[in-house]
Structure 1
Amino acid sequence: MRLATYLHRDVRRCGTVADGAVRPFPDGTDLLDVVRTGALPETGPPVPLAEIRLLPPIEPPSVRDFVAFEEHVEGVRRSVSGESGVPDAWYDAPAFYFSNPHAMVGAHDDVPLPPGCRALDFELEVAAVIGRPGSDLAPERARGHIFGYTIFNDWSARDLQSREMQVGLGPCKGKDFATTLGPWLVTADELEPHRDADGFLRLGLTAEVNGQTVGRDLLSNMGWPFEDLVAHASRGARLRPGDVLGSGTCGNGGCLAELWGRAGERNPPPLKPGDTVTLTVEGIGTVSNTIVPGTAPVPVPRARKRTRQRP
């Protein structure tokens, strides 16, 4: 089943999607409540998808973004630092950072260029959405805690990200301005036929910029299946319904920075206003966002350097 949140005649609604239309749940229904309870309300008459604006399916309580594709790590590392290979620590456990849950963008919304950015990039990912709470989950139990999946585009200001990560922390202003989530939430049972013999979801992933294919991969090339990501995230922490766990960017052109690392130059060039990024995931759907001009950065002074004083 596919579940969407949308605007129709300036009213926010949610419902089920099928046959080019959405069937709305009763007024006031929030998709996060459906995820939390697992109960589907009755639906009303269908509304054509052409008449609605798709919103992010849910407003997640938290967003964790993993880095689960070895090929992506290899390419981006070469782009950022010039080093080859993959750090040995990557193989120890699926690493992640917390992203901004308040910066979700709909499937076809415009994305403003972030303030001060000169190297905007997309990142093609799939996200799992938690349906049942839990902590310290074993991987074999974790599958039952996944409600469904959606496309996840972790937009990245590469120049800002590269500079700020020299401090030794994770990304901040290079990442927190926009994340596309959509076009809808596909329940986990619908994707089970795509599971391979090793337990991975074998879904085709395609990235296009202005109609030209720049990336193509399989979700099953992840280093860990989603169940392992969920188990690791839950270690010593409590996952809650609606929490979003991104797979990390796929390889073979899942973002521009990987291609820059392999080519040794910024080709294709960074995204600019007017560019449209279209991401398609087999079994889920397509999101397509156009870059538009943003605002100038609000000046913040550099830190002062001074002799330390003590009381």
Structure 2
Amino acid sequence: MRFATWAGGAGVVSDAGLHPLPSGVSVLDLVCSGLPAALEAGSSALAGPPVPLASVRLLAPLTPPTVRDYVAFEEHVEGVRKSIDGVGGVPPEWYRAPTFYFTNPYAVVGPFDDVPVPPGSERFDFELEVALVVGRDGTSLAPGDVDIFGYTIMNDWSARDLQAREMKVGLGPAKGKDSATTLGPWLVTADELEPYRDADGFLALDLRVSVNDTLVGQDLLSNMGWPFEELVAYASRGTWVRAGDVLGSGTCGNGGCLAELWGRGHDVPPLVPGDVVEMTVEGIGTIRNRVVSGVDLPPVQAARPRPRIRRRDV
């Protein structure tokens, strides 16, 4: 089943359109109720008349409490590391555990929204990912105990110049990543994608991204270093994951972002206003965002040299 959120409502997606849930019920509410209850509510909604898809503005499928983003594709790390810090190869630490960072849940945008260039950035980039939505609260979970409600497409928009600067400090990414994260077009329940699971437990979905209708990248989701259940289990070690939390796969390889191509010596320009980025994931759908001009802000003030004064003058 596919659940969607739009301006003024939420509901189930069918070939006929959007079937609204009862007023005041959100997709996050359904996720927190558990998959069986959500499917029952969705079946009831399907009995009602549809709203034409073309008549609404789709929003992100849900408002997530938190958003974690992983780097689970080895090929992406190989390429993008070279373009960000000038060092090639994959660090041995990458293989030891799946690494993630927390990104900004307030920056989530809809599947067809315009996306402004972040203030001060001249190297704007997309990142093609698939995100899971946690289905049940849990702590220190084993992979076999993980409950995944469903999946959606994720574009982790990135200001590569801001990212490169701040990561030299040993923290981040931060401002390089928190301007926008696209989720959509809807949330597909996990059972819908089980036919794509391969013998190793990975979802072998085809991933594609184009810029201005020119194909830039294509990969299989099954090229991840860890299956999604391992990502959730790792996130829960010594802490909690909650129903509705979003965990991104990290960017796929083979052109899943421009920075990977830059790191491999490809002369492709960064995104500029007017560019249209389209991502399609097999079994889920398509998102399409247009890049627009961002807010023009003054430069960030540099830090003053430390004065090393230890006491106030009396």
CA distance in structure 2 between the aligned counterparts of 1:110 and 1:16, rounded to whole angstroms: 24
Deviations 1:225-269 (A, max 9, x none): 000000000001111111000000000000000001101x5x220
SS at match of 2:264: helix
1:170, distance to aligned residue in structure 2 (A): 1.3
1:111, distance to aligned residue in structure 2 (A): 0.3
Name the counterpart of 1:169: 171
1:297, distance to aligned residue in structure 2 (A): 2.2
Superposition RMSD in Å: 1.0
Name the CA shift for 1:132/1:48 in 2 (closer, same or farther; >3 Å).
Answer: same
Deviations 1:129-166 (A, max 9, x none): 01100010011212xx1100000100000011111111
SS at match of 2:106: coil
Name the counterpart of 1:290: 290
Name the counterpart of 1:117: 121
Gaps of 5+ in 1: none
Name the counterpart of 1:197: 199
Name the counterpart of 2:33: 37
CA distance in structure 2 between the aligned counterparts of 1:122 and 1:221, rounded to whole angstroms: 19
Aligned length: 303
Q: Please tell me the residue identity of whatever aligns with 1:26.
A: P
Deviations 1:265-303 (A, max 9, x none): 5x2200000000000000000000000111112443211
Name the CA shift for 1:147/1:221 in 2 (closer, same or farther; >3 Å).
Answer: same
Name the counterpart of 2:77: 73
Task: Report the identity percentage.
Answer: 66
SS at match of 2:105: coil
CA distance in structure 1 between the aligned counterparts of 2:220 and 2:107, rounded to whole angstroms: 27
CA distance in structure 1 between the aligned counterparts of 2:298 and 2:133, rounded to whole angstroms: 34
CA distance in structure 1 between the aligned counterparts of 2:310 and 2:26, rounded to whole angstroms: 54
CA distance in structure 2 between the aligned counterparts of 1:228 and 1:270, rounded to whole angstroms: 33
CA contact (8 A) 2:85 2:164 kept: no
Q: Please tell me the residue identity of whatever aligns with 1:47.
A: V
CA distance in structure 1 between the aligned counterparts of 2:33 and 2:68, rounded to whole angstroms: 22
Name the counterpart of 1:88: 92
Name the counterpart of 2:20: 24
Q: Please tell me the residue identity of whatever aligns with 1:245.
A: L
CA distance in structure 1 between the aligned counterparts of 2:261 and 2:300, rounded to whole angstroms: 33
CA distance in structure 1 between the aligned counterparts of 2:174 and 2:31, rounded to whole angstroms: 29
1:82, distance to aligned residue in structure 2 (A): 2.5
Alignment equivalent of 2:62, drawn from 53, 58, 61: 58
What TM-score, normalized to structure 1?
0.95
Name the counterpart of 1:209: 211
CA distance in structure 2 between the aligned counterparts of 1:117 and 1:79, rounded to whole angstroms: 16
Q: Please tell me the residue identity of whatever aligns with 1:248.
A: G
Deviations 1:181-233 (A, max 9, x none): 00000000000000000000000000100000000000000000000000000
Name the counterpart of 1:268: 268
SS at match of 2:278: strand
Is 1:245–2:241 an aligned residue pair?
no
CA distance in structure 1 between the aligned counterparts of 2:306 and 2:137, rounded to whole angstroms: 48
CA distance in structure 2 between the aligned counterparts of 1:236 and 1:211, rounded to whole angstroms: 44
SS at match of 1:307: coil
What TM-score, normalized to structure 2?
0.95
CA distance in structure 1 between the aligned counterparts of 2:192 and 2:291, rounded to whole angstroms: 32
Q: Please tell me the residue identity of whatever aligns with 2:307.
A: T
CA distance in structure 2 between the aligned counterparts of 1:20 and 1:169, rounded to whole angstroms: 47
Name the counterpart of 1:159: 161
Name the counterpart of 2:6: 6
Greater than 4 Å deviation, 4+ residue runs: none
1:45, distance to aligned residue in structure 2 (A): 1.0
1:20, distance to aligned residue in structure 2 (A): 4.5
